[in-house]
Amino acid sequence: MGVKSKIKHLVSFLLHGEARPVYAEVSYLRADNRLAGKKVIITGGGRGLGLAMAKKFVAEGAEVLIAGRNEQTLKDGASLAGCKYLKLDVSNPSGFNTFIEEASKILGGANVLVNNAGISLHEPTFFDVTPETFDKQIDTNFKGAFFLTQAFIRHLKDGNSKGNVLFVSSETGDTMDFRPYGFTKAAVNSMVQGLAYLFRKEGIRVNAVAPGITASDMTGIKADGSLNAGEYATGRFYLPEEVAETAAFLVSDASGCISGQIITCNNAQTINARWK
């Protein structure tokens, strides 16, 4: 929680005895089978935004496979979303070709990859970053996503197939940072544009969603707890379900003319307005 949000909570508590509730008004597109024929791999799909996307995509007619390191988390997530699962450590590229082959076999021909898996170690200062924390975040958020995408696009090209890659970036990719997490997301944004341009004539689209701070295990914010966030125009943090709506559009054929775009989901928070 930011300093402004903490102050807002304190003032509300002093005036009213408790923090005023913040309500999330979220609209959803009615499920209309708009992802029929999409066979989707989602990394980090057992919980948080990955699971919200899995649920939304299945509701829209897609066949979905979620991937991650913890098998029990995957089992639980697959049961909730009504999808398949397969174990994967995204920080270890050595097994990526085998994983893509197996996942594609389970789905009957994977044609969408969602690079959602990511970690932030939330180092409090520049001097708390170590070579170990640096490498761990680079390996998962950037290196892993790069080489898994490489294996996936190779799979598409070998089958002469069209496809779609969606990265989960972050609003931190739009701003300065002193921590590896922000560096990885800035690099992801560059990669999205580079790959989109590289494969623009081959029917392979590449885009990203870049959420603001969203309720998840990684951020430590609970959807059933306080979502107060005075720094955002909404007055609250975001819910994974609303980001999943944007993700569903980007992997659907309705966004067929969009590639190389990073859609920042934070109500213009990181716009570099000169009058700030």
List, as one string, the DSSP characters of 38-52. -EEEEETTTSHHHHH
The residues with which 67 forms a beta bridge, in sequence order, are: 43, 86
Give start and end residues of each alpha helix (H) in 213-252.
Answer: 240-251
Catalytic annotation present for 85: no
Q: How far apart are CA 255 and CA 230, in angstroms?
A: 32
Q: How far apart are CA 70 and CA 48, in angstroms?
A: 14
Catalytic residue (choose from 23, 28, 85, 181): 181
For residue 180, CA distances in Å to 49, 126, 145, 174, 215 come to 21, 10, 15, 14, 21
Q: How far apart are CA 117 and CA 234, in angstroms?
A: 26
Handedness of CA 156, 110, 103, 200 (dihedral sign): positive
Residue 74 near residue 68, CB atoms below 8 Å: yes
The gap from C-alpha 67 to its chain's centroid, in whole angstroms, comes to 13
Dig out the tokens for 165 from the structure. 């890659």
Which backbone phi and psi does 214 adopt, to 5 degrees? Answer: -120, 145
Number of other residues whose CB lies within 10 A of the CB of residue 167: 25
Catalytic residues: 181
